[in-house]
Each structure stands twice: as C-alpha cells, then as structure tokens.
Structure 1
Amino acid sequence: MDTKTRPKKTRPRQISPIITAVEAWLSKIASSSSTSASQLPNTQDLLASAPKRWVAYDPMVLLPSGSFGSCGWTTLLSSEPPTSTDELWSRVLANISKTAKGKLTHLAVNEGIPLHSAQSDVPHGEDENILRSPTRLRTLYGDFGPAELPAARQAPTAEDFASAFWVATTQNGVYQTWAPRWTMFSRGNVTEKARLLNFHAPGDGPNMVHRRKPGEELGKSAAVDLYAGIGYFVFSYAKLGMRVFCWELNPWSVEGLRRAAVKNKFSVRVVQEEEEEEEEEEEEELGLLTSGVLSPEAGNEQIVVFLEDNAHANRRIGEARDQHGPIDIMHVNCGLLPRSDCSWESGLNMVGHKGGVGWLHLHENVGVADIRKRREEILDMLRGWCDGPRRRIVDVEHVEQVKTFAPGVWHCVFDVCIRDGGD
C-alpha cells in the first residue's frame, strides 16, 4: 500500500475586488496620452498600500482609516482629473457589488470618531465631541447630502433629514439606520447586543440563576439607556419585550433611532426638552415628531426617546412614575466611552424595585492590567451611594471584555447586580 501522503490541493489565491479595480484603473491611466509612465508612482507600491478590506452598509462601502492616503496615492489622485478618480471609485464599487446583495453606490473612508471637536470659543480650541459626530468621514464617491446645516440654525428640520444620505444594516435580526455624515455606527457592538438579547435566557450556569426571567416578567419591566445613539442597545431590550426609556443629545441619532424603531415594528415616541410648553412649535422646527408619534392617545409607546441631556433622566422617570404608577426598571445602560461614570449615580437611583433585582451596565475603556482594580473601585463607589435608609445589595457580578480599543486597552462592560435588601 502506498503510504505516501497525498499532496494537499491548494485553493487559488483570492484577489480583493478592490485590488482588481485598482489594477485595471492603473493600467488604463498608464496607457492614456495624458499620463506618462514616468509620472506614475511605483505601481507595486500603490497596490501594496491600497486597502484590501471594507464594510458594506447598504448602499455604502466604508473603507478602513487611511485608505488611499499614502504619499503615492495622494500625489497620483491629486494629479488626475475628477472624471478619472470617479472612474476608479466607480470600478471599486462595481467590483464589491458583485459580492453584495445589492448595488453599492457610495464610497467613503472611515477616519474614526474624534473624542473632541474643534471649537473656536473654548480653551485650546477643542471641546468634547459629545454628539460623537463623524467629522473626519472622507467621502470619495456619491452624494452624501449637505455637509453642514445653514448658518442661521443648528437644529435639523424634516427637510434636512429628507435630503441626507442614509444607510442601514441588520444585526441579530434588528434593523438599524443612520446618516453617516452626521452620526456614527459602532460595528463592534454586535456581540454586546447579542449578549443582552440572551441575558435572561436559561443556561447561564448556577451562579446566574437569578438572571433567568420569563417573557411575561420581562414584558412588565422597563429598561433605561442613558446614551441611546441610534438604538444600539435600545432595540435589544425592546426585542425582549421591555419598555425602554432612552436619552440622546444628537438629533440625527434620534431620527435614526425613530426610523429604525418603525422599521422594526416598535411603537416609538420622541420627546423634546420642555415640549410640554412648546410642543407644536418644536415639532415644526426640529421635524423629529412626525405625524402620529404624538397622537392624543400617546403614552404607551414601547420606546420613548428623550432628545435632551440625560441629567433630566431621574426627573423624567419620577414624572412617569407619578403619572403611570410603579415602573420596574430592570436594566440601566450607561454606554458612553471612554467612560460613563458621570451617569452612574443617576442610574443607581432608577434601577430596581422593592423586593426585585436589576442591573447597571457600565461601559468604560480600561487597561487590561487594571480591570480587576477598576471592578473593586466601581463596587466601592456604588456601595457608598447606597448608604442610606434604603438598603441595597450591590455586586459586580461580571465584566464583559467587548473589544479592544487600543493596544492593551479593552472596551469593558461591568454588569452590576442591584438587589433590594429590605427594610
């Protein structure tokens, strides 16, 4: 018997559709009369520095940070007429579309979401980018809508929303949409969304038996998201059957959340700060409260979005409890990075009910060597806030390392279990 090992069949090397498009374009411009070979940067260098990866958000392709940003590429692209560069981007989109579900029409480079934004009226010319606006998005191809609002106003109108470019994706069976010029999308949160969806499912082990909740109980409970964005975690709670109260400052994110809620068949209401006094005027000005959202029978929507600072959250929840009776808040999500500790005491005051159990989900960027230390610091901080007539038992029962933020730094979620300790 021949015992020699048969040689393994090698699969043909897969060439990136971007590289295929780049090669064809470089070949064309090299042979054109307007460009001599001596004027072209080294072709191999251009190919080596061209992006190989991408993410498609229908109908947009988003390239990694720095794409086509090397010295060779910037020199070449600046020397080519717009019709030539448009042909390159069109080729890239056409090639990637062959592997996608539909036609992709827009191309941009994701240069990251800055933690600060330039402001001329603050010290050092920078202010915290509270709205997480993608000010460094580099658009390459397609109409992304107006780049800025008219100088006379800062708040977007219904017409602004209509003229903007919107993209969408579906994760864990949940539809989400956003305007890439005006708000961010965090792709890496997909695992945390799935974790929340399964938070109360059986099979978490004997130490987590208290997490197991039937759908009937979840349907009578509520969740709070103090940093809602476009609904990253809001929709996970809603899909579990809970009512969700959430806060968000960026009106573009709120509009994305509202649109996605409708698409996902969740009833939704948008509440603006002091809307009780100027409801009709603000509806016309901001264009957020579309027909039917603030109907006479409003008040039982599954998702209620407050377009305001979350400093008002405790007051709003108190008003809701005064109006509708006890509200069992089982979850409070504090999802701001790099840290969200400014909202933790507020969240602690909201969560749970007498005889019940609830959870705070505290997001922070933490050095991997400091996770255990930070866990103890959080526990001490929350227990200090619990000193008072209302006895509460606090336990940081789990730390989820969601994704790396930087070398040696993790985006962590600290699951804090809050139990009522009785009288």
Structure 2
Amino acid sequence: MSESGSGSLPVLLVPANLTKQLKVSLDLAGWRDKAKLIARPSQSIETSSLQQQQGQDRNLDLSRYLTMALLPVEPFLHLPCRRSSDSNSESLLSLQDFIVSLERMQENHLVDQLRAMVPDQTIQSTVFLKWLDASAFATPRHLLALTPLEKLREGLTQFLTPYLSSFLDHSQQKQQAQPSLASDIGATSASDLLQTLISSIPQKWEHYSDFTLLPPGAFQASPWPQILQYLITLDQKDDNHNPDKKQGGILDRLETLVQEALQSKHIARKAIIPVQDVLRRPQIRPLTGDWGLHNRYKSWVEEPDLVLLEHQQIGQESLHPPTPEQQRSLSSTSTTSSTEGSSSLINMDQDLVAPTAENFKGAYWAETCQNQVWYRWAPMFTMFSAGNITEKERVANSRPIFDAKDKVVVDLYAGIGYFTLVYLVHAGARTVHACEWNPWSVEGLKQGADRNGISWSSYHKSPVVAGDAAAEGGVGQSMTMTTIFQQSIATRTVQKKKKKAVVPAHDTTSTTTTAPTEGLLGNLVIYSGDNAQWIDSFENQAHHVNLGLIPSAEPGWVLGVRALCPDQGGYLHVHHNIRVGEEEAFKTYLVKSLQDLFKTWKSPVLSESGEGSLAQENGWTVEIRHLENVKSFAPLVFHYVVDVECRPPNWSPSA
C-alpha cells in the first residue's frame, strides 16, 4: 500500500443527516480548526471520479453522502494508505474497520480522536474514509493546498522515517557500550520518535522575499540534536565511501526539503540579542542557502567549537581557533586576508565583520516590501523589525500630524530606513537627514534608497590613527567598530539617481496604503556615526524629528529640540517603552523635560521694545497630540510613540 503524497487527502464521507453532529465532533477531536473543508460533493467534487474510485461492489448511493470532511493530513502521514490505483473495495473503508486496523497498529492516539469524533459504533459503520486526489476537487482549490507548515511536516515525515529505526539501534548500542551515558531521547519506537520530532517543529516564523527566520528553539528540542548529529555522521561516512558521488548527501536533501516547504532559499535560526549590544546586532545561525563570506557559520547542530558571529566579542581571546576545514572554507570565500603570522578565528572574524566594500559585496542581503516601500538589510549584522509596520502606516497616512510634504525631517536613529524611506516615498518630505551608527545598517539604508529610486548623499568621518594604514584612506583590517565611530575627518559620497517614484510590481506585505505620488521624491542625506557629532549639519532645520530608539530615546531628546526650526517648530515623534499604568507619568515627565530643553537651547524671543526680555516666560509650547501603542515589547511593557507638537511663541498655523 502506498504512502500518501501532497496530492492526496483523507476524506470522511458522512450521511447528510449527520452533518451537524460531524461539526460538533470535529471540535471535540480538536480538528475543527484544521479541517480543510466541509462541503457538498456535488459542489466540490466530480461525483463520476468518486464513483470510479469507490468500486461498484459497494453500490453506495452518493445522494445520501451530501457532507464530506477533509481531515488534517498530518496524523495520517506515517500510516500506510488504503489507496489503490485500481477500483477495488480496499479504496473505500468504513470508519469502524479503519479504527480496528489502527488498534492493531497500536495507534491509540489517533483511535481516540476518531472515536471522539464518531463515538457510536453503529454510526461508524455508515461513515467511510477515503483518500482522494486533490485534482478531483473542482473548487475551491486554495482550500486543498497544503500550508507551508503542513508541507514541512509531511516532507520531514517522509525524509526521517527510513533513518529512525537505525538511529534507535545506534543509540542503544552507544548506551550499552557506555552505561554512564544518559539518554534523553524518551522514545522506544520509531513511531513515537517520529511523533515527538514532528510535534516540536516550529509553527510560526518570519518570512520575507527570500529569507526565513525561525524562532530560537527551532530544531533544537530533544531529540532533534541527536537525530541531526546522527544524519551528519551518516553523511560523512557516505562522503568517505563515495567521494565522487554526483547526487547530494543527506543534509543536502534535508536543506532542499526545508527550502521547498518554506518557499525560501535562505533560512536561519535566530538567537537572543545581547542586552549590552547597543547596536542591536542580531545573532543568527544560518541553516540553508548561500551566505557568501559567512557560509562557514552554517550548521544544523550547535557545536561548542562553532560559535555564532558574536559581534560584541570580536577581539576577545575566548573565541575558539578555527579547524583546518574552516580555514580552507574561509580562504576560498573571503577576499580579505588575516593579519600576518596569525590564523586565529579572532582575526578572521574581524575581517568578516569589518564594514568594508568587499565585505558588503560578499555578504548576503535580504529584502522585503511593506506598504510599497522596499527595505534591504544584511541579516548577519542587522535585523528587520516587522512589528513596526503599523507605525510606518501612520507616517504614510496620518494627517495632519505627519504632514511632511515639502518639509525637512530628521531621523536620529534611522537603522535601515524603517521610517526614513516612508517619509520620502509616502509623506512627501523634501529632505530627510538620517543618522545611523551601525555601518552595516547605513549600507542597508543606501541600498534601500537605490531600490526605491531615491537620490542620496552620505557623510562619514575617516579615522586618523597614528601608524594606521586606514588613515591613508583605506579601512585597516585591525580596525574595530569603536575605531570607526571615533572619526574626525568628514568626507562625502554622493549617489546620483533618477528621482522618479518607483512603485514595486510585487508587494509581499502590502496593506491599504496608497501608492507614492507620481513625480520627484525628496533627497536623503545620510550621516554615519554618533548623531551628536552631526547636529551642526541639521540644527534649526527640521519640521519633524523621529526619535526611534528603544527602550528609550531620551539621550536624543536634546538633539531633537536643537534640530527643530526656530521660527515654525514642528513635531517630535518620541519612541519609548512604557510599563502598563505608567503612561500618564511618562507623558508628564516628557513634557517637563522638553520644556527645560527648549529654555536652554532655543534663543529667547525679543519683546516689542527690543530689550531682550522674554515675550513669554515659558517660551515654546509643548503639547502631546497622540500616544500610539505600536507593539508589545515584554510582559506588561509596550513600545509607544508619543507625538509631541512643539511651537515657538506667537506662532500661528498660517505663518
């Protein structure tokens, strides 16, 4: 008997008078939300096809079977399917007979679910189970397609099954040879082991155009590490016996299977971002795809000697030295060389992390489109915050708060351009001054601007270090991130592009936001490094200032005040993490703090007599216009944006 494929589905044929009971029973079995369809065969299936498959010896009256339930595929994947290519009686089985056969196979969990769905044995004899090809269903086909999760579960089931029995034997032999070796597999049969593996597959992930990011624990719960290590061992033995094999090995097939199921070539597992890393650089483990310079970090198993690309630890002696294999891999992919006389992983990691043009070109860059705005980033060095999409929509659509048409905007923490690009593409800003101190994010911002047809100019400060080759115009191999940020000579790079708005043909995460206005887009000016070093470049110019740093952008409040136009003022959009119940207290603190900053940094207003006294004691008016809850950040802590309108004395909207 053949196994079920992605083109066949388990179906229950139920008499019409049991329709209501079937719906209730599916709820009791926990399948109601997973059942594909409950419909009339005459509307969704070619009855002639069913008659051909069922066999004439059954002589069933199809008019009685007006209700049909397409069951979830996963519980049946590892079972032999009573589906035959010819028209015989085995192709149609009563539910009662099917339950009996499951009891013989000791599939107790599935038996319990089916009995919960149809508890009466008499009724079980009138309900039939049948496997039908998806092609037999006319409409709606989208309900019959397997989801990526179902494809992943089905594919892994078929892939793992041939190896599980031998893995259990291998584990028992190891434990007998080393009695002190504890086993945490917790399964004694291949069937139980398979169920444990499949049930621990992650049920959600982040998916972009060609990049998928799995949660931190994906494929790491026991017994996944043991199974994967066993497959790696088998793969290595196969390589040793067949060095000239043309077909891919076991892990190659696993990689292809996961890629096809998730419809993505580049798949990685995320790790927790260290709290002490102010650059918010991600820690991810690449699993599949070509990651260019960083392919040597790919691994399904977390081994002690294969550390993640720990950016904040570069230069520390605690990193492990590379294996000969890693050295060969690096020499064949990297365009940079290690410091003379040293081949340690420390130097190689420095080379791979350094924000050079060669490394930018050699790294993998992901992209996605939200609200008709394209974003690009290097997942090994920067992260994409999908949860900010609602705030991006506000910038694009909310008026008058975000009325930036033909105005100047300052984004003090631009990142890869989450809000910077929206101000230019949707809000109509004339100029956006964007500050960012992570050079990999700066490169992503430039690439995003190019992708959207936005012209940009970039300012950075070249380091002056005695005896350092970087002082002559290059980026030294031994240069650290800190050195790059402590810069003193300003240089300018201009990217000339046609400025007509680009409307993407394919929007992977589009919403109801309208298309960009036809015509010319504004200019983007990018400042690399500490934003405080660049305040003189945009002081007294801004109508909007975005302070998008969490958990708190308070260090930038003074820069936001200094950036606002002295004659018109504008809006400060302050991002902050606030605990539940502390919203009003924070608003009071924010207003008071800003009022003090305006007194310090904005020039006093002269009286009519010109004697220099303040026209108003408090000077600028500071009023909160809106408090936006963007997303949850932690238990009882939410990421908020506070829109603060700041106006100089005697200002009027018509001015």
Fold-level similarity (TM above 0.5):
yes
2:220 counterpart (63, 66, 69): 69
Determine the C-alpha separation between the residues in 2 that align with 1:69 and 1:352.
Answer: 53
2:204 counterpart letter in structure 1:
R
TM superposition shift of 1:305: 0.4
Query: In the alignment, is the contact (CA less than 8 A) between 1:402 and 1:412 conserved in 2?
Result: yes
1:176 counterpart letter in structure 2:
Y
Could you tell which deviates more after superposition, 31-40 or 404-413? 31-40
Determine the C-alpha separation between the residues in 1 that align with 2:590 and 2:436.
Answer: 24
Cα distance, 1:212–1:37 mapped onto 2, change above 3 Å: closer
**2:260 matched to which residue of 1?**
94
Determine the C-alpha separation between the residues in 2 that align with 1:28 and 1:91.
Answer: 9
TM-score, normalised by the number of residues in structure 2: 0.52
Determine the C-alpha separation between the residues in 2 that align with 1:361 and 1:60.
Answer: 31
**1:145 matched to which residue of 2?**
292
Determine the C-alpha separation between the residues in 2 that align with 1:28 and 1:301.
Answer: 52
Tell me, yes or no, if structure 1 residue 190 matches structure 2 residue 389.
yes
Query: In the alignment, is the contact (CA less than 8 A) between 1:168 and 1:175 conserved in 2?
Result: yes
Query: In the alignment, is the contact (CA less than 8 A) between 2:155 and 2:261 conserved in 1?
Result: no
**1:78 matched to which residue of 2?**
229
Determine the C-alpha separation between the residues in 1 that align with 2:473 and 2:384.
Answer: 26
Query: In the alignment, is the contact (CA less than 8 A) between 1:268 and 1:301 conserved in 2?
Result: no
Query: In the alignment, is the contact (CA less than 8 A) between 2:271 and 2:284 conserved in 1?
Result: yes
**2:415 matched to which residue of 1?**
229
**1:180 matched to which residue of 2?**
379
- Alignment root-mean-square deviation, CA: 3.3
Determine the C-alpha separation between the residues in 2 that align with 1:292 and 1:395.
Answer: 38
Cα distance, 1:292–1:349 mapped onto 2, change above 3 Å: closer
Q: Per the alignment, in what secondary structure is the counterpart of residue 80 of structure 1?
A: helix
**1:384 matched to which residue of 2?**
596
TM superposition shift of 1:199: 2.7
Cα distance, 1:212–1:293 mapped onto 2, change above 3 Å: closer
**1:315 matched to which residue of 2?**
536
**1:249 matched to which residue of 2?**
437
Determine the C-alpha separation between the residues in 2 that align with 1:175 and 1:212.
Answer: 20
1:115 counterpart letter in structure 2:
V
Determine the C-alpha separation between the residues in 2 that align with 1:212 and 1:35.
Answer: 63
1:227 counterpart letter in structure 2:
Y
Cα distance, 1:340–1:37 mapped onto 2, change above 3 Å: same
Could you tell which deviates more after superposition, 301-310 or 388-397? 388-397
2:359 counterpart letter in structure 1:
D
1:173 counterpart letter in structure 2:
Q
Determine the C-alpha separation between the residues in 2 that align with 1:228 and 1:212.
Answer: 17
1:35 counterpart (134, 157, 166): 166
Cα distance, 1:285–1:403 mapped onto 2, change above 3 Å: same
TM superposition shift of 1:274: 5.6
Query: In the alignment, is the contact (CA less than 8 A) between 2:544 and 2:570 conserved in 1?
Result: yes
Cα deviation, 1:386-406, whole Å, max 9, x if unaligned, reads 236252100122111100011
2:260 counterpart letter in structure 1:
A
Identity of aligned residues (%): 32
Cα distance, 1:402–1:235 mapped onto 2, change above 3 Å: same
2:581 counterpart (369, 374, 395): 369
Determine the C-alpha separation between the residues in 2 that align with 1:84 and 1:218.
Answer: 56
Paired residues for 1:98-247 under 5 Å: 104-116=264-276, 129-134=277-282, 136-147=283-294, 151=347, 155-200=354-399, 211=401, 213=403, 218-219=405-406, 221-239=407-425, 240-242=427-429, 243-247=431-435
Query: In the alignment, is the contact (CA less than 8 A) between 2:455 and 2:496 conserved in 1?
Result: no
Cα deviation, 1:339-388, whole Å, max 9, x if unaligned, reads 1101101111211341x241111111111221121111111111122236
Query: In the alignment, is the contact (CA less than 8 A) between 1:21 and 1:88 conserved in 2?
Result: no
Query: In the alignment, is the contact (CA less than 8 A) between 1:144 and 1:181 conserved in 2?
Result: no
Query: In the alignment, is the contact (CA less than 8 A) between 1:106 and 1:141 conserved in 2?
Result: yes
Question: Looking at CA atoms only, which structure, 1 or 2, has the larger radius of gyration?
Answer: 2
Cα distance, 1:260–1:173 mapped onto 2, change above 3 Å: same
2:561 counterpart letter in structure 1:
L
Determine the C-alpha separation between the residues in 1 that align with 2:199 and 2:159.
Answer: 18
Cα distance, 1:366–1:85 mapped onto 2, change above 3 Å: farther
Cα deviation, 1:258-296, whole Å, max 9, x if unaligned, reads 011011111111110269xxxx9787549xx9985289x
1:251 counterpart letter in structure 2:
P
Q: Per the alignment, in what secondary structure is the counterpart of residue 599 of structure 2?
A: coil
Determine the C-alpha separation between the residues in 2 that align with 1:155 and 1:75.
Answer: 35
Greater RCO between the two (CA within 8 Å, min separation 6)?
A: 1
Cα distance, 1:112–1:162 mapped onto 2, change above 3 Å: same
TM superposition shift of 1:186: 0.5
TM-score, normalised by the number of residues in structure 1: 0.78
TM superposition shift of 1:61: 1.6
Query: In the alignment, is the contact (CA less than 8 A) between 2:413 and 2:548 conserved in 1?
Result: yes
Determine the C-alpha separation between the residues in 1 that align with 2:566 and 2:269.
Answer: 47
Determine the C-alpha separation between the residues in 2 that align with 1:107 and 1:263.
Answer: 23
Segments of 5+ residues of structure 1 without an aligned counterpart are: 98-103, 117-128, 202-210, 322-326
Q: Per the alignment, in what secondary structure is the counterpart of residue 411 of structure 1?
A: strand
Determine the C-alpha separation between the residues in 2 that align with 1:55 and 1:412.
Answer: 22
**1:293 matched to which residue of 2?**
495
1:383 counterpart letter in structure 2:
Q
Query: In the alignment, is the contact (CA less than 8 A) between 2:167 and 2:230 conserved in 1?
Result: no
1:405 counterpart letter in structure 2:
F
Determine the C-alpha separation between the residues in 2 that align with 1:212 and 1:60.
Answer: 32
**2:456 matched to which residue of 1?**
268
**1:205 matched to which residue of 2?**
none
Q: Per the alignment, in what secondary structure is the counterpart of residue 306 of structure 1?
A: strand
Query: In the alignment, is the contact (CA less than 8 A) between 1:397 and 1:417 conserved in 2?
Result: yes
Could you tell which deviates more after superposition, 150-159 or 374-383? 150-159
Cα deviation, 1:13-46, whole Å, max 9, x if unaligned, reads 4865345334433444432499344557522221
Cα distance, 1:417–1:274 mapped onto 2, change above 3 Å: farther
Q: Per the alignment, in what secondary structure is the counterpart of residue 185 of structure 1?
A: coil
Cα deviation, 1:38-96, whole Å, max 9, x if unaligned, reads 55752222111111222222222211221112122122212221543442232121122
Segments of 5+ residues of structure 2 without an aligned counterpart are: 1-16, 24-36, 39-68, 73-144, 172-184, 188-192, 236-248, 295-308, 310-335, 339-346, 464-469, 477-490, 498-520, 606-618
Query: In the alignment, is the contact (CA less than 8 A) between 1:330 and 1:352 conserved in 2?
Result: yes
Aligned length in residues: 371
Cα distance, 1:412–1:291 mapped onto 2, change above 3 Å: closer
Q: Per the alignment, in what secondary structure is the counterpart of residue 333 of structure 1?
A: strand
Query: In the alignment, is the contact (CA less than 8 A) between 2:560 and 2:572 conserved in 1?
Result: yes
Could you tell which deviates more after superposition, 19-28 or 244-253? 19-28
2:410 counterpart letter in structure 1:
V
Determine the C-alpha separation between the residues in 1 that align with 2:439 and 2:373.
Answer: 21
1:402 counterpart letter in structure 2:
V
Tell me, yes or no, if structure 1 residue 20 matches structure 2 residue 151.
yes
Tell me, yes or no, if structure 1 residue 358 matches structure 2 residue 570.
yes
